[in-house]
Structure 1
Amino acid sequence: MPRHISELSGELLFLMSKAPGGSTPAARERLRREIMHVDGVSYEEAGVKIVQMAQYGKADTMLLKTPYYVGMATARIAGIVSIPLVFSLTLASKFNEHNVMAEPPEEGMTDTMLEVGMWTWGWMEPPLGTISFFLLCMQFATEQRLNLGLKPFTERLKSRKADQLVKAYPQYDRYIVRDYAKAICFDESDADGLENEPLWLKNSRAALPHPPEAKQSQ
C-alpha cells in the first residue's frame, strides 16, 4: 500500500490531477518527476526547483485574492448587520431616524422582536428582496456561462497564472506545469517550502536565487 505520494504511479497521479478540483500533491509530484526527467536531478533537488517555481509571481497572489476577500468580508458584514436592523428596536429606530424617516410604531406594537420585525420589514423588504433577486440572477447567468463552456472568473485567473509559469519555464511539459500552476494559484505554501521534506528543503527559500519576476501589465 502506498504510504507517500512519491510511491503512486504516473497514471494515478495523472487521474488525480485531472479530477474535478484537481489535487495539489498529485500536480506537484508530476512536476517533480518532469523536472527530474528533464534536468537529470535527484528527487530532493527537483523539490528545490519546485519551490523556486512556486515563488514565481508570488507578489501577484495577494492581488488575485483581493476580490475574494472583499466579497467574503462584505457578505459576512451584511449578513450580520441585517439581523439587528430587522429585529433590534434600538438600532432600527436609529436607522429609521437617519435614513428612512418612516412613522414610528405605536406604543405597544414593538414589545417583542417579531413585532419589531413586522415594523422594520416595511423598509427592509425592498433592499433584501432586491439583493436576493440580484444574486439569483447572477447565479443563473453563471450557470449559462458554464453551459456555453465559458470560463468563470476564477478559472480565468488560474489560466493566467498558468500561462505565466509556462512562459517562464518552457523547458518543461506545458500541461504538467499548467496543472501545477492552477493548483497553487491561491496557495502560497509551496513557496515557503514543501511538506514532508528534509529540513534543509523546507528552509530552502532563503538559499534559492530570486525567481524570474512576472512582467507587470502595461
Structure 2
Amino acid sequence: MSSELLLNRRNTSTATLNMPGMLLGDEFPNFEVETTYGKIKLHEFLGDTWGVLFSHPRDYTPVCTTELGRAARLSSEFTKRNVKMIALSIDCLEDHHGWSKDILAYNCEEPACCSLPFPIIADSKRELAVALGMLDPDEKDKDGLPLTARCVFIIGPDKRLKLSILYPATTGRNFDEILRVVDSLQATAGKRVATPADWKPGDCVMVPPSMSEEQAASLFPAGVYTKDLPSGKKYLRYTPQQ
C-alpha cells in the first residue's frame, strides 16, 4: 500500500477496519532490511532477547536527534534487561551514517571513534512504515507525504508483540518510561500478577481479582495485603515482587 493511498483512506468510514498495523499478541514479522549494521533479518537479530523497535520521522531533525541520543545513553540499561534496540527512519543508509555523527556529537561523544549502539533501518520507500501502521497523516514532508510517527514496539523472546505506543511526530518519547515498561513486562511475564500505576522494580505487584484467596495464599507465600475500600470489595490486593 502506498503512502498516498494510506493518506486518502484516512477520511473513509471503513479506514480503521483495514488499516495496516500490529495487534498485541501478534507474531512480529520477520522482515529483512538494510541497516547501519548491514542487512539483518529481525528474528535472527533478536535471537532469544527482547526487542524494542522505535521509528522516527526523518534524519537530521531536532526531536529525533534528542531521542536517539537518549536511547544511546540508556543502551547499557536495555542490555542489562536482555533487550536489543533497533531504530527506523525513512531515509537512506548514507544519511543514517551521517546523522549518527550528529547524534554522537549531541551526546558530547567523539564521532570519529564511536558508533551508535544499535542499528538504524533504512526505509526510504516507507514500505515498512506503511506495513506496520507507522505513518502520521497530520505531519507531512516537503512532497506532501506523511512522515513516520514515533512508534514503539516491544517484542518478546517469543517474537510476539507485547506492547505498542504511538506518539505523533511532534512529541518526543521518554525512554526512561520505556525502560520502566520493559521492567513491568518482564516482571509479569508468565506470572499471574500486574503492576499498578507508577510501579517500579522492587515495588509490590498486584494480585488479579479473578484469583481466589486460597490460590493467592498458595502462590504468594510472602503474603497478600488487601486495601480496605468504601465499597467493601476486596479487589485491591498487593504482594511483594518475587
Name which structure has the greater RCO, CA cutoff 8 Å, separation 6+. 1
Fold shared by both chains (TM-score > 0.5):
no
Bigger CA radius of gyration: 1
Larger helix percent: 1
TM-score, normalised via structure 2 length:
0.21
Larger strand percent: 2
